[in-house]
């Protein structure tokens, strides 16, 4: 049983040093960094005459950073140097590999013969001719029947063969580093996606057919759609249709109160929806990369509402949208002012009870850090830990790792240094490139060439309600977690001391999603390697967001589930797939049942709304959620 809580006091976290720059950045940059902080900058050198004046080093640093920030506006935050290094590595090794070049020439010849054979068969068989190459299952660009007719079938088949050849050309070159190979293959795929015949009206039979049927009005409507979207983007407005999902009216409407607030978070306590409640409350830690109400969307798909209806007392952290004044907020601030302050507040509201802690995405990663630190410090207030699409080991973090190296991070840090935060539009660019066909080019074709509008949904409206990331926090997050993998390696520091995930000894429920491009499920599955206690892992259909917002009754939803007992044997991802059968429906009831198994008996003793002697500050969804 946890100790009796003491009156809540807001304790500012200790100052922690900014992330140390790699030595390769040079002494001049290090000096300038310290100069900008008002610290001494004289480097130890063999001769005093070699020392640069303070103003010179500071000016050089500011000049370089400002130039990089200006370039970043035209490259979506991507480092040209990192891409040039990757292509140089590939081109140099390809030039020194005559055998690989001969192999590619042979492949090109065979693909030409294949295409010629297809063209000859089509001349006799017509549209029913079997394709010489099929697109990948997730590629929906050429599925329409119109693409099976001349000349568009020749155009699409030639493009797919060329795309396959370029994949062969950019992979399997001996001597090229895996990182550079992935970058070159990714960048080349982006170029090919941009040049796809489906993106051009004169080469896309669907667009030509619609243009004839509408007398060209689809292009006129598409131009109007583009002008409207451009005006909204330039003026900072949300996309068309978002006005139908107003916060507090249509979404984020589960009744509750803001019971605590500091400079970084508001803590929401939701009203009970049942006559009896479980004694252990649930604290949900959402990611601060987006606003919290993805877990409290419309009433029919609100995870918060569902949990309260299952007899749980639910608390939710709502993060402040940081601005330039918050540039120095770091990961330790988010842990101390966010998670630990929420634990202290809940302990005052529901005394003498342990807490079920659940974290989504980046919030889950931070929660695992907090849980490890609490275990290290003999803080036993956690009853169980739930990680929703959250990574704790970043060695297989997917294509996002293509944007994580010293060159890229230095470039990104310079961009954030100038403005004090990472802007939401800059962040969205990287995510769009990961799924450019789905998130960019298909939308351009649908909205601007076909002249149609996709109906706005609550999840789409939430996705457009973006936030910023503080300079210091995002730099620490990318360097210490993504680049150095400090958390998995046992080097991550919390409150000045290292933490280890193996110290966590509470039941864990982890959820991964099959089509997650942000936190690939095989990456989230690594929690099974890091925790010696009980781990229940659920793999659900859907992507990073839609797989989590998977309410009961949602069509075509399935999930797999397996539990590794304490000190049980490890089951690798492939054997996990083979050993578990998909179950129809939502994973939410499975989680609610699991929480029930690790909770006490429900009672009619309902918790107070707010801390003793401190009335609630305002109604949910609070004030921080409205900050733009």
Q: Tell me which residues are annotated as active site.
A: 361
Rounded to whole angstroms, how far apart are CA atoms 334 and 366?
8
Residue in 139, 124, 135, 193 with CA at minimum distance from that of residue 160: 135
Residue labelled with tokens 């010849």: 109
DSSP summary character for residue 555: T
Q: Which residues contact 34 (CB under 8 A, 6 or more apart)?
A: 40, 41
Q: Is the peptide bond before 53 cis (omega within 30 degrees of 0)?
A: no
* Residue 349 neighbours by CB distance under 10 Å: 23
| Residue 435, burial from CB neighbour count under 10 angstroms (0-12, 13-18, 19+) | middle
Rounded to whole angstroms, how far apart are CA atoms 505 and 29?
43
Q: Is 438 helix (H, G, I), strand (E, B) or coil?
A: helix
Rounded to whole angstroms, how far apart are CA atoms 545 and 291?
12
Rounded to whole angstroms, how far apart are CA atoms 38 and 329?
18
Tokens of 49: 């005459």
Does residue 269 contact residue 261 with C-beta atoms inside 8 Å? no
Complete DSSP assignment for 177-211: -HHHHHHHHHHHHHHHHHT-GGGSTTT-HHHHHHH
Does residue 298 contact residue 442 with C-beta atoms inside 8 Å? no
Pairing outcome for strands 508-513 and 382-388: parallel
Does residue 294 contact residue 363 with C-beta atoms inside 8 Å? no
C-alpha angle with apex 608: 607 to 613, nearest 5 degrees? 145
Rounded to whole angstroms, how far apart are CA atoms 211 and 197?
16
Whole-number Cα distances in Å, 75 to 407, 431, 474, 490, 575: 14, 14, 19, 35, 41
Q: Which residues contact 272 (CB under 8 A, 6 or more apart)?
A: 308, 313, 606, 607
* Residue 8 neighbours by CB distance under 10 Å: 16
Does residue 43 contact residue 33 with C-beta atoms inside 8 Å? no
Pairing outcome for strands 535-540 and 508-513: parallel
Backbone angles phi, psi at 626, to 5 degrees: -90, -5
Rounded to whole angstroms, how far apart are CA atoms 345 and 274?
23
Residue in 13, 25, 23 with CA at minimum distance from that of residue 413: 25
Packing angle of the helix pair 205-214, 217-235 (nearest 10 deg): 110
Whole-number Cα distances in Å, 132 to 114, 128, 189, 277, 617: 7, 12, 21, 61, 66
Rounded to whole angstroms, how far apart are CA atoms 138 and 140?
6
Q: Which residues contact 414 (CB under 8 A, 6 or more apart)?
A: 64, 65, 66, 68, 69, 72
Tokens of 211: 């243009």
Q: What is the largest CA-CA distance in the chain?
A: 86
């Amino acid at each position: 049983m946890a100790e009796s809580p003491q009156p809540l006091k807001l304790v500012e976290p200790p100052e922690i040093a900014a992330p140390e720059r790699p030595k390769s950045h040079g002494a001049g940059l290090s000096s300038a960094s310290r100069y900008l902080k008002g610290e001494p900058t004289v480097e130890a050198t063999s001769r005093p005459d070699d020392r640069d004046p303070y103003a010179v080093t500071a000016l050089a640093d500011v000049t370089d950073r400002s130039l990089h920030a200006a370039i970043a506006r035209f490259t979506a935050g991507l480092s040209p140097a990192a891409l040039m290094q990757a292509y140089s590595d590939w081109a140099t090794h390809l030039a020194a590999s005559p055998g690989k070049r001969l192999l590619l020439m042979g492949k090109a010849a065979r693909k030409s013969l294949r295409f010629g054979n297809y063209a000859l068969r089509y001349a006799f068989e017509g549209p029913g001719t079997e394709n010489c190459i099929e697109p990948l299952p997730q590629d929906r660009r050429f599925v329409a029947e119109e693409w099976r007719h001349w000349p568009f079938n020749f155009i699409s088949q030639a493009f797919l063969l060329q795309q396959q050849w370029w994949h062969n050309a950019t992979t399997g070159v001996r001597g090229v580093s895996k990182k550079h190979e992935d970058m070159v293959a990714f960048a080349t795929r982006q170029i090919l996606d941009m040049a796809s015949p489906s993106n051009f009206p004169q080469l896309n039979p669907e667009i030509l057919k619609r243009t004839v049927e509408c007398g060209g009005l689809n292009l006129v409507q598409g131009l109007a759609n583009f002008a409207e979207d451009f005006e909204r983007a330039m003026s900072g407005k949300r996309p068309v249709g978002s006005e139908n999902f107003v916060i507090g009216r249509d979404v984020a409407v589960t009744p509750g109160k803001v019971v605590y607030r500091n400079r970084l978070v508001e803590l929401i306590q939701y009203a009970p929806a049942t006559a009896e409640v479980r004694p252990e409350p649930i604290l949900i830690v959402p990611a601060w990369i987006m606003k919290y109400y993805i877990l409290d969307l419309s009433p029919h798909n609100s995870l918060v509402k569902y949990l309260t209806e299952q007899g749980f007392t639910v608390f939710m952290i709502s993060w402040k949208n940081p601005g330039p004044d918050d540039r120095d907020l770091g990961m330790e601030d988010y842990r101390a002012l966010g998670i630990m302050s929420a634990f202290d507040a809940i302990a005052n509201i529901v005394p003498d009870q342990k807490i079920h802690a659940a974290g989504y995405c980046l919030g889950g990663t931070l929660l695992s850090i907090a849980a490890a630190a609490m275990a290290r410090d003999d803080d036993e207030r956690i009853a169980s830990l739930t990680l929703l699409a959250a990574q704790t080991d970043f060695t297989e973090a997917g294509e996002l790792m293509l944007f994580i190296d010293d060159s890229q991070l230095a470039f990104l840090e310079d961009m954030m240094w100038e403005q004090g935060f990472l802007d939401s539009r800059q962040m969205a660019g990287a995510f769009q490139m990961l799924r450019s066909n789905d998130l960019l080019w298909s939308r351009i074709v649908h909205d601007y060439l076909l002249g149609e509008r996709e109906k706005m949904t609550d999840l789409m409206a939430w996705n457009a309600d973006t936030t910023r990331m503080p300079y210091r926090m995002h730099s620490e997050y990318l360097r210490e977690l993504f680049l150095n993998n400090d958390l998995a390696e046992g080097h991550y520091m919390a409150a000045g001391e290292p933490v280890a995930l193996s110290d966590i000894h509470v039941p864990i429920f982890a959820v991964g999603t099959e089509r997650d491009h942000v936190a690939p499920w095989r990456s989230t599955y690594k929690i099974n390697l890091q925790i010696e206690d009980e781990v229940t892992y659920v793999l659900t259909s859907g992507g990073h967001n839609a797989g989590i917002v998977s309410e009961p009754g949602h069509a075509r939803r399935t999930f797999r589930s397996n539990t590794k007992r304490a000190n049980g044997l490890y089951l690798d991802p492939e054997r996990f797939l083979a050993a578990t059968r998909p179950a129809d429906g939502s994973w939410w009831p499975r989680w609610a049942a699991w929480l029930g198994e690790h909770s006490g008996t429900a009672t009619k003793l309902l918790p107070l709304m707010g801390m003793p002697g401190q009335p609630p500050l305002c109604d949910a969804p609070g004030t921080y959620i409205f900050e733009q």
